[in-house]
Structure 1
Amino acid sequence: MAAALLASVPVLDMRAVGPVLSACARCLRWQMALSLLLGLPLEVAPGPIAYNSVASACERASEWQHALALIQAMAANGLEMDAFSFCAGICACSKGQQWPEVFHLLRRMADTSVATSPVLCGAAVNACAKAARWDGALYLLAEMVKQSVERSTVAFSAAISACERSGLWAVALGLVSEMRQTQVPLDTIACSSAISACEKAQEWSFALATLAQMQCWDIEVDAVSLSAAISACEKSAKWDIALHLLGLWPVLGLQTSNVAFAATISACEKATQWTAAGNLLQRLLASRAEVDAFSCSATMAACSRAREWQAALQILDGMDHWKVTKDAVCYTAAISACASSSQWQAALTLLELMRLDVTAEQFAYSAALSACEAVGNWQQAVSLLWKMRQEELAPDGMHLGSAVATTFHSLGRAAAAELLKAFRRELPSSQISQISSAAAGVAHMVLKESPGLVVLNKPAGVLTEDLLAALGRHGRVTTISRLDAPTSGVLPVAIGAKNEPAVIWFKSQFAGRLAKKEYLCLCHGRHGRGLVGDCVSSPLRQVPGEPRTEISREGREAVTYYEMLAEYLPCENASLPEERLFLIRARPQTGRMHQIRVHMASIGLPIVGDRQYGRLPPSWCSRLFLHCHRLELMDWHEQELHVEAPLPADLQDLANELSKRQPEAQAQRVPQQVKRKRKVKLKKRVQLEEDPPEPDTEDPSQQNSSADKDSSPTLGRDKSRALAVTEGDVTVIAGSDQALNKRLEVARAKLESSRDHSFMRKVEHFLRIVLGRDGEDPDEETSQGDLRWLLFEAIAACLIAVNSVLMGFEVQYTSSSSEPSPVFLAGSIFFGVWFIVEVAIRFQANGFYTFFTSEDRWWNICDLFLVGVSVLDVILLLVGFASTALSSIRVLKMIRVVRLFRVFRFFRQLATLALMVADSVKQLLWALLMFLLIMYVFAITLTSSCTDWIKIHIDFSDPDWKQKLKNSDSEELRQVHRFFGDIPRSVYTLFQTTLGGISWYEVTDALLSVDIISFCLMFAYIIFTILALLNVFTGVFVDNAVQNSKKQRQIQIEETLEKKRMGLDQIIEFFVATDLNGDGTISLAEIQHLLQDPVMNAYFDIIGFRPGDAQMLADLLDRDGSGGITLSEFINGCERMKGQAKGIDVHLLLTECIQIHEKVDRLAADFHGVPYDCLQGKRRKTLTVVG
């Protein structure tokens, strides 16, 4: 309207144009105002007000270029700019994030007479905040103090926002504190910005502290601040605190948003709290708030971490009922859940559904490939790669590496390398990028340069990201493997972007576990000299919100092989002198964060200098002793590439110094005279086992204790009674003194033969363990005869196993061929003859009477029956009836299968289990009968209701009712008939739902369409059978198995006696190892040497007690006070000190104490009133008489 009136004005001047420009500015018609200003004739000279109006219109419309152009035009036309001009220009630059222009305008403003105002400074700080220039914002705040300009809340809030966008949470909190100190009013925006800064930096504790301070300062807590605090807890996996904050929304009168729910669910997901995430999703659904795909995908991700793939699929299926659109993220989360539980079929099915519903993304294929990798299905993994190419989704290094890793696990390294080379040939070779390491300033670190690859020697203390940034300034680079900041060594860097061929080639080798890396590390621990090497396979997971890793069952697979290269003694100033140092070569098979450091610390060998997983670095090694020494991979031309990085100078000097501190040989720990005696005893081992020496006719311990018995007859009798009670078990196990001495000689022979590595000894020991004869006393039968019988039983057991395998191959062969094989025919004849010969040998060795009356008589009778079957089988084969069609002959021939049960007699453990299973068959039959009755009752009820419902829709009088039912459009009708169409179907359906054959959800969903009563009845059946009936059955079977095992009295007695024999043998071997001079007694000096040896201390742990000092141990064991501990005293003392005190031990101790008190009282009464001198003389006389 103003423009139309302006067109009717005959002569244009500023009095007519000015109001029109102001009207256009107020109506945001910046184009019209600008065209009107620029279209003025030359004789009309606009003033500063006109320019300010148009510039303000452009600023409001975010047209900062035109606003700055108008400001510059004012300066060019010689017009004086006022505060409104600079304010419009600064605000325009703020919206355009042109912070350099802001400082330019501020400098121009300083050159003019325009005074700086809080509004102008606040606008300038806001411009820096929008451009994330925290330094500029802080500079402006400081300048405001210098120029005595009042700093407003807007300026502080803008500066805090700048720090938030730059991740400077500490500076943001400092500005909040400064606002409190300078009494600048704090508002919700400033505090919310500070909380958001803490949230981005994962400083959840400071975010919560700021939120709490808002309530103390009477600042309104709004949805933005609460959401920021919940997000801070979410990033640090503080799910419980996030739940508490979510509960504050209704308390503060706020309406809970789906964003807060989604953040809390994500916090539960990171903390693997899938049940809490599911409950939150239900609360979100019940609150009638808008449910988005992010909340559903976060809940499914929580199920994925907890390996609850069924719950994830239920959520995905429920999104249709909740009217939530499924996106690629939701499908990917569900596929990941299936992959975490190794459900590769379900993962592939979901991937196919995803391709029909939405566009499949690379992340979904990554999850599906992980599912195939978990089960080793390399065919499906390769197929997924080809599908990605068909959908024009270029597989990257991680996709290709996952398929290669799957092939590596299934077919081996060679097949995986061939697969990788096959994909390599399809990558274009003309796009190999190069980079100048000299220009990047890392030429002195380069170990190897190859097409598409540069290998650096990273020094300790340098971040991998800093080296990549230095290289990235001269070209695109991609990380394929990284090293921690304190770790040095080989660092490969791929040249090019993520999707370039060279990057894909090298990254797939690391992801496919074809690249080999070796690390050198120095560890410290208390491991013995037997440390050689092993494998650590504990799964690892990164602690949410913290830069560290821990061992967890929910973690990812992590495998580290290690090997000891050298062992060193600790330094003089070591904090724990008993520890040793080990130089170890580690080969990680996976690339988890801090993998080697966590794995070595988990086995008691933390790396020297590891502050995070070990202890503070020692003075002689101030850094982490971990160095990536070697790298092996294939270059771009498929040639093997080997790169080595020598130890840095500081670590090499330390290794050279430690090499001078290697421990002495282990053999020097044993005295030479003891070694000579053991060599002599070793030659007599066979004689000691076959013909043990006769024991002495007189026990030296009895001779030594005779004086004590005479001096104190009453107390001596009490001691003898106590020893008789405590030595009862030992006497029963050891037998007579002759048997005890025999065990002593055998223990000495075992000790001397510990280095006997003869082949026959190893064979005998192995056979005893495998056949369950390791607990038998080797002195009960001659060694050679026993070994021959063990070999015979081992050969018989092996031939039974071979016969089993041959029968399986024979059945497999005959299933696809009608012609008999001469190989199987000859094998059947051979095994039949062998079983006959075996029973004949047993019959000859045991004799007729023993064969049918011994403990193994039932096994022998079973062997006779099976041999009879073998004889019949051999006869049939020899006369040519093997291929006849007579059913009776076939039945007799198939009886050969029962030969397999002969393996039970060779293994005691299998025999025990067989007896327990046989005794449980009766309970099993009754349980099955009860189970069938319950299913039959429910089947009658459900079949009746379902058939009545089917008759409503299908006329059963029609002869073609089955065909009509089959062609019916109602899926519910077909399902109800399939599940409950008749009694057999109903029983079979109930049986499947109970044992997991089909999902009970499908059955109850079908019954829901019939009526609610059938649904409730089925639901009650599920609850009753799964939660009650099956658990009762399990309890009955377990109890029956326990009771049956208790019935095996002979087995229990043998196991108890065997355990006691083994304990006695350990004590005797301990005695022989302690008796260094071989005189049959242990002296105080030998005990002192014993307690200084860590190996001997381990023997104390084995027999179950820990001693104190040497003198105390000698007094406890030396019962007769002779100064030497005999074998019987040592056995009795160990039995008494082992474990906790028994009731009889405490009672005997109290009895002896009472008797001693009575004797002291009588002695005091006898000498009552006698002078001390006379008492001394009498004491001397007594001693003279006794002497």
Structure 2
Amino acid sequence: MTELALEAVRQELQHQHEVLLVRLDEWISNMERRLQKPPPLHPHVSIPEDDSVEHGSPDALLSLDEEPIFPPTLNGGSKSFIVEEDRDPSAGLDSYTLAKQQGSRIDTLFKSKTEEASLTAPAQSMTTSLCPTLQKWCSRIVGSLFCEMFFAFVILTNSIYLGVQMEVTASQGQDAVNNEITFAVLNIFYAVVFLLEVCLRLVAFGPRAYFFATSWAWNWLDVFVVTSTWVELLVGLMEVEGSEGLSNSNLRLLRLVKVSRLARVMRMLRVVQYVKPLRTLMHCLVDTTKSFVWSFLLLFLMMYVFGLLFTDAVLDYIFDQQKQAHGQAPDHEQLSYFFGSVASSIQTLFRSVSNGLDWSEAADELEPVGFIWVWIFNFYICIITLVLVNVLTGVFCNSAIKAAERDHEMVIQNLQQNKKDFKALVKNLFRRIDDAHNGLITISEFEKHFDDEAVRAFFESLEMNASDAWTLFASLDADGDGAISLEEFIDRCVQLHGPARAVDLYALKQGQVKLRSEIQKVFDLQKLMQSSKSAQASATVRSRAAAGDLQYLIAKTKSAKSEDSDPHLTV
């Protein structure tokens, strides 16, 4: 009976020893597979800001997003000895995949909420349901290139038509224009087209966005032009049908309405936005208005100060001459014309610096007053023409350059055009290097053309300098297949063009943080593996010691049995 128990204990210990070795092998295999997997980049990982990460503290890194993996144990406790892979659904996924999944979940949730709201909302009327469709239809029409070009052409032709109508009025009289059926038809045509444009834009943008959005000034001008055009047509129609008294009573109103023709001509400035050079000049002109006001104020102050000086000196001279002449008024007509009052002095000073007057004539008139005043006038001309005008020119140029840089639409157009030109240059370079004309550049072809001056100059202009051909080829070969396609060549040249941008530096920083965290995780796993190996060694030693003790007990039991069975030893 004792032998059977001892044999059962021996078999159980041997079985536990084998199971422990199998589990340890599985755990080590799982660790190796886990280390070979791409690092999971969880969006909810938070890197500690303390020194524990930098000094490689295991506790700090283990608390990032997953629990520590414990070594195998003999008992079946809660801490499993097998690494459960993919416990987290996001394990093994990169940040881009996780972001795509999160976006899909958000879209699904939003669609479900929208469907619930549509089901619970009361049924809308037919008129209300038609409004979004009508607005969408009008938005497509207004946003199309054909619509923009059509209305721009109408505005240009209307401006030309107004000029022709005014010329006919000047040469043949107002009656010739009123009696001509062609002018009446054209007036109605332009009025209908302008009204259609306003209605389309009003429905497409909505009343609030149309009257109070970014282009509110142009929109109000359009409304004023359309209203005045139709009022002019109605007044003209009443003049034709009505009596003479009605015509006379509305004559003043008709004259006021005709002022709106100037507004119609001003609409031609709206066409400027479709021509890039004119748009740049117009935007710079509008943006420099503030600088122009202050510059003109400074110029006026200087002319006012010098005007006071010259007026005071000339009046003193004239009064002295009158006293010396004993009441006889000397002839100072030209001097009084130039500097007889503050207003005339300011006018003379302004004309002298704006080529409206030969300033030497005004200076010669100051010679009887005193030679010093002639030099003061010369000093004024020097200050204005050589100093102030140049300073103001520099201010205007600087303001114009900044205005062009602040024009968002123009900046976008410049970037798109520069990118298009850059891609065209890259395509030409690709065709030059591709000797086989198969759409691929090999390392042999690249090395052949690497010493070409034109090719090296192009890469240097892109700030893509390399000491050898292989380094540059490896930089352009994104997929690493040993050949560069046209799309790959263009994309890599665009990415490597110029110095590193802020987004590139930030991406590099984020990559370093993630790499550091993953390296720390590997370090922690290595420590866990070492501790598990130590635990396994201790368990092996304990099992062997237990087995030795068991063998000793068995031997002792056998010796005791042999003593009991031998009667001579008992005696």
- Provide the alpha-carbon RMSD of the alignment: 5.6
2:321 is the counterpart of 1:930 = no
TM-score w.r.t. structure 2 length? Answer: 0.50
Determine the structure 1 residue equivalent to 2:310.
942
Determine the structure 2 residue equivalent to 1:751.
none
Change (3 A) 1:1142 1:806: closer
2:363 is the counterpart of 1:1004 = yes
2:350 is the counterpart of 1:991 = yes
| Alpha-carbon offset, residue 999 of structure 1 | 1.9
Determine the structure 2 residue equivalent to 1:31.
none
Change (3 A) 1:1002 1:830: same
Change (3 A) 1:1022 1:790: same
Distance in 2 between the 1:929 and 1:1021 partners? 17
Residue type at the aligned position of 1:1058: Q
Determine the structure 2 residue equivalent to 1:803.
158
Determine the structure 2 residue equivalent to 1:794.
149
| Alpha-carbon offset, residue 853 of structure 1 | 7.2
Distance in 2 between the 1:1005 and 1:980 partners? 12
| Alpha-carbon offset, residue 953 of structure 1 | 6.0
| Alpha-carbon offset, residue 889 of structure 1 | 2.6
Change (3 A) 1:1117 1:929: closer
Determine the structure 2 residue equivalent to 1:889.
254
Distance in 1 between the 2:188 and 2:356 partners? 43
| Alpha-carbon offset, residue 990 of structure 1 | 0.8
Q: Are the aligned partners of 1:1067 and 1:1134 in contact in 2 as well (CA < 8 Å)?
A: no
Determine the structure 2 residue equivalent to 1:510.
none
| Alpha-carbon offset, residue 839 of structure 1 | 2.4
| Alpha-carbon offset, residue 855 of structure 1 | 5.3
Determine the structure 1 residue equivalent to 2:420.
1062
Q: Are the aligned partners of 1:1066 and 1:1103 in contact in 2 as well (CA < 8 Å)?
A: no
Q: Highest CA radius of gyration, 1 or 2?
A: 2
Residue type at the aligned position of 2:314: C
Distance in 1 between the 2:239 and 2:382 partners? 59
Distance in 2 between the 1:1065 and 1:844 partners? 40
Determine the structure 1 residue equivalent to 2:230.
871
More helix by share: 2
Q: Are the aligned partners of 2:338 and 2:344 in contact in 1 as well (CA < 8 Å)?
A: yes
| Alpha-carbon offset, residue 897 of structure 1 | 1.2
2:266 is the counterpart of 1:898 = no
Instruction: Look up the SS of the partner of 2:229 in the other structure.
Output: helix
Distance in 2 between the 1:886 and 1:977 partners? 46
Residues 296-445 of structure 1: pairs in structure 2 closer than 5 A: none
Q: Are the aligned partners of 1:1068 and 1:1131 in contact in 2 as well (CA < 8 Å)?
A: yes
Partner residue of 1:840 out of 175, 199, 207: 199
Instruction: Look up the SS of the partner of 1:815 in the other structure.
Output: helix
Partner residue of 1:829 out of 180, 188, 203: 188
Residues 599-618 of structure 1: pairs in structure 2 closer than 5 A: none
Q: Are the aligned partners of 1:923 and 1:1037 in contact in 2 as well (CA < 8 Å)?
A: yes
Q: Are the aligned partners of 1:843 and 1:851 in contact in 2 as well (CA < 8 Å)?
A: yes
Change (3 A) 1:927 1:1071: closer
Residue type at the aligned position of 1:939: G
Q: Are the aligned partners of 1:943 and 1:983 in contact in 2 as well (CA < 8 Å)?
A: yes
Determine the structure 2 residue equivalent to 1:1125.
484
Q: Are the aligned partners of 1:835 and 1:867 in contact in 2 as well (CA < 8 Å)?
A: yes
Determine the structure 1 residue equivalent to 2:50.
none
Distance in 1 between the 2:209 and 2:448 partners? 53
Residue type at the aligned position of 2:170: S
Q: Are the aligned partners of 1:1117 and 1:1133 in contact in 2 as well (CA < 8 Å)?
A: yes
2:187 is the counterpart of 1:818 = no
| Alpha-carbon offset, residue 844 of structure 1 | 5.1
Q: Are the aligned partners of 2:463 and 2:498 in contact in 1 as well (CA < 8 Å)?
A: yes
Residue type at the aligned position of 1:862: L
Change (3 A) 1:813 1:850: same
Distance in 2 between the 1:1068 and 1:787 partners? 37
Determine the structure 1 residue equivalent to 2:535.
none
| Alpha-carbon offset, residue 1047 of structure 1 | 5.0
Instruction: Look up the SS of the partner of 2:270 in the other structure.
Output: helix
Change (3 A) 1:900 1:1097: farther
Change (3 A) 1:858 1:1004: closer
Q: Deviations along 1:742-762, whole A, 9 cap, x unmatched?
A: xxxxxxxxxxxxxxxxxxxxx
Change (3 A) 1:1071 1:1003: closer
Partner residue of 1:1034 out of 393, 401, 425: 393
Residues 637-652 of structure 1: pairs in structure 2 closer than 5 A: none
Q: Are the aligned partners of 2:429 and 2:455 in contact in 1 as well (CA < 8 Å)?
A: no
Identity of aligned residues (%): 28
Q: Are the aligned partners of 1:851 and 1:857 in contact in 2 as well (CA < 8 Å)?
A: yes
| Alpha-carbon offset, residue 1051 of structure 1 | 3.9
2:383 is the counterpart of 1:1018 = no
Determine the structure 1 residue equivalent to 2:78.
none
Change (3 A) 1:790 1:713: closer
| Alpha-carbon offset, residue 992 of structure 1 | 0.2
Distance in 2 between the 1:1070 and 1:893 partners? 58
Instruction: Look up the SS of the partner of 1:1125 in the other structure.
Output: strand
Q: Are the aligned partners of 1:1105 and 1:1137 in contact in 2 as well (CA < 8 Å)?
A: yes
| Alpha-carbon offset, residue 1073 of structure 1 | 5.8
Change (3 A) 1:1016 1:895: same
| Alpha-carbon offset, residue 960 of structure 1 | 11
Distance in 1 between the 2:435 and 2:261 partners? 60
2:221 is the counterpart of 1:862 = yes
Q: Are the aligned partners of 2:476 and 2:488 in contact in 1 as well (CA < 8 Å)?
A: yes
Q: Deviations along 1:22-73, whole A, 9 cap, x unmatched?
A: xxxxxxxxxxxxxxxxxxxxxxxxxxxxxxxxxxxxxxxxxxxxxxxxxxxx
Q: Deviations along 1:1057-1085, whole A, 9 cap, x unmatched?
A: 53675367548856986889999864446
Q: Are the aligned partners of 2:427 and 2:490 in contact in 1 as well (CA < 8 Å)?
A: no
Distance in 1 between the 2:456 and 2:466 partners? 9
Distance in 1 between the 2:442 and 2:389 partners? 63
Residue type at the aligned position of 1:893: K
Q: Are the aligned partners of 2:476 and 2:489 in contact in 1 as well (CA < 8 Å)?
A: yes
Q: Are the aligned partners of 2:466 and 2:472 in contact in 1 as well (CA < 8 Å)?
A: yes
Distance in 2 between the 1:787 and 1:1101 partners? 45
Residue type at the aligned position of 2:258: K
Distance in 1 between the 2:141 and 2:423 partners? 20
Distance in 1 between the 2:314 and 2:333 partners? 11
Residue type at the aligned position of 1:900: V
Determine the structure 1 residue equivalent to 2:544.
none
Query: Structure 1 stretch 1059-1068 or stretch 931-940: which is displaced more?
Result: 1059-1068
Change (3 A) 1:930 1:1137: closer
Residues 763-778 of structure 1: pairs in structure 2 closer than 5 A: none
Distance in 2 between the 1:836 and 1:997 partners? 46
Change (3 A) 1:824 1:986: farther
| Alpha-carbon offset, residue 1110 of structure 1 | 6.8
TM-score w.r.t. structure 1 length? Answer: 0.26
Residue type at the aligned position of 2:266: F
Q: Are the aligned partners of 1:1070 and 1:1099 in contact in 2 as well (CA < 8 Å)?
A: no
Distance in 1 between the 2:362 and 2:280 partners? 42
Residues 45-60 of structure 1: pairs in structure 2 closer than 5 A: none
Residues 76-475 of structure 1: pairs in structure 2 closer than 5 A: none
Determine the structure 1 residue equivalent to 2:239.
880
Residue type at the aligned position of 1:1007: L
Change (3 A) 1:1133 1:818: closer
